[in-house]
Amino acid sequence: MIKKLIVTVIASSIALGSYAQHSDGSTKSLVNAEKEFAEMVSKKGINAAFNAYAASDAISFMPNPVNTKAYYASHPDTKGLSWTPVYARVSKSGDWGFTTGPFEFDGDKKMYGQYLSLWKAGANGKWTLALDINSEHNKPLNKVTTEFKEPTSFYKPKFINEKQILAGREIILTTEKTLGATLKSYSIAAFSGFLNDDVRTIFPGREPIIGKANVMGFYNSMVSKIALKTTKADKALAGDLAYTYGIATIDYKADLRESFNYVYVYERQPDHNWNIILQIYTPAER
């Protein structure tokens, strides 16, 4: 129970209610929202905080995806969780972004790890938690560098309908389908064509692996094959950032197979291709 509590609590969120931070289209406003959420957890506990900040359709990985509000409505309360955003991005359209960083849980047993939170700006202009996922590792040893990247400009389509939004999501699903097919044909080497140079990979038992060369080195040293089954994709209105989540089945070189829930964050490149800028995995339960 405690492990599941951690795996989710770390989450990061923000959203509805009088507590939520207004979005002004900046990464700074998102980071401030994250910090306000963490402060509320430390003062009032996770149940009150998630009830105030999570969207009605937000999902948390426990470790499999569940509705966040429903989960915390009956979840044991705690204040023994702290976390810090160290990397954050917001779309040029200001409608969604993400934060990630280390967490620490001070309970019967000290636990550490990394979280990823995806946020959306609601109709009321406030940041709202859309998705959170977490991955555990041992007590961190590496120095953390903070990087909050502001959008280079602002762009939001004045007129966009549901059909266009669905078409945009389909582009991301097609991209990941292509990645999956390439992984099947060329194994781990296929990732090389889909990872950004500054990609971050968060994998259970490891601190964040940063940089394409380091991530490829990690995959090549441990993994034989990866098969992806995408559950959902979504894309910012500006068409610059997107994410997917689903199940990754990993065959290790040590003749072992494991299943993970994953979230990939994509960024559109100047050549219009979509590259992965962040990956996170957490063990899946069957």
**pLDDT at position 273, please?**
95
Q: Which CATH class is domain 2-149?
A: alpha beta
Query: What value does the mean pLDDT of the chain take?
Result: 91
* First-last CA distance in the chain: 17
Confidence label for 275 from pLDDT (cuts 50, 70 and 90): very high
* pLDDT at residue 76 tops 50: yes
- State how far the Cα of 264 lies from the Cα of 202, in Å rounded to an integer: 10
**pLDDT at position 199, please?**
98
Mean pLDDT of 23-45: 93
pLDDT tens digit sequence for 115-144: 999 999 987 889 999 999 999 999 999 999
| DSSP output for the chain | -HHHHHHHHT-----SSTTPPBP-S-HHHHHHHHHHHHHHHHHH-HHHHHHHHEEEEEEEESSSEEEHHHHHHSSPP---EEE---EEEE-TTSSEEEEEEEEEEESSSEEEEEEEEEEEE-TTSBEEEEEEEEEEESS--SPP--EEEPPSS----SS--HHHHHHHHHHHHHHHHHHHHHHHHHGGGGGGGTEEEEEEEE-TTSPPEESHHHHHHHHHHHEEEEEEEEEEEEE-TTSSEEEEEEEEEEEETTS-EEEEEEEEEEEE-TTS-EEEEEEEEEE---
**pLDDT at position 115, please?**
97
Say which range, 103-112, 144-153, 186-195, 220-229, has the weakest mean pLDDT: 103-112
pLDDT tens digit sequence for 35-56: 999 999 999 999 998 888 899 9
Confidence label for 22 from pLDDT (cuts 50, 70 and 90): confident
Mean pLDDT of 62-84: 91
* pLDDT at residue 285 tops 60: yes
Q: Do domains 2-149 and 162-283 have the same CATH topology?
A: yes
* Count of CB atoms situated within 10 Å of the CB of 163: 8
- For the record, the structure tokens of 29 come out as 């406003």
Which pTM does this prediction carry? 0.91
- Domain ranges in the chain are 2-149, 162-283
**Cα angle 244-246-248, degrees, rounded to a multiple of 5:** 115
Phi, psi angle pair for 248, to nearest 5°: -110, 125
* pLDDT at residue 20 tops 80: no
- State how far the Cα of 27 lies from the Cα of 198, in Å rounded to an integer: 18
**pLDDT at position 118, please?**
97
> 162-283 has which CATH code?
3.10.450.50
Task: Identify which has the larger pLDDT, 65 or 107.
Answer: 65
Bridge partner list, 110? 106
pLDDT tens digit sequence for 158-176: 888 899 999 999 999 999 9
* Contact present, 132 and 118 (Cβ < 8 Å): yes
Mean pLDDT of 67-77: 90
Bridge partner list, 257? 251
* pLDDT at residue 8 tops 60: no
Confidence label for 19 from pLDDT (cuts 50, 70 and 90): low
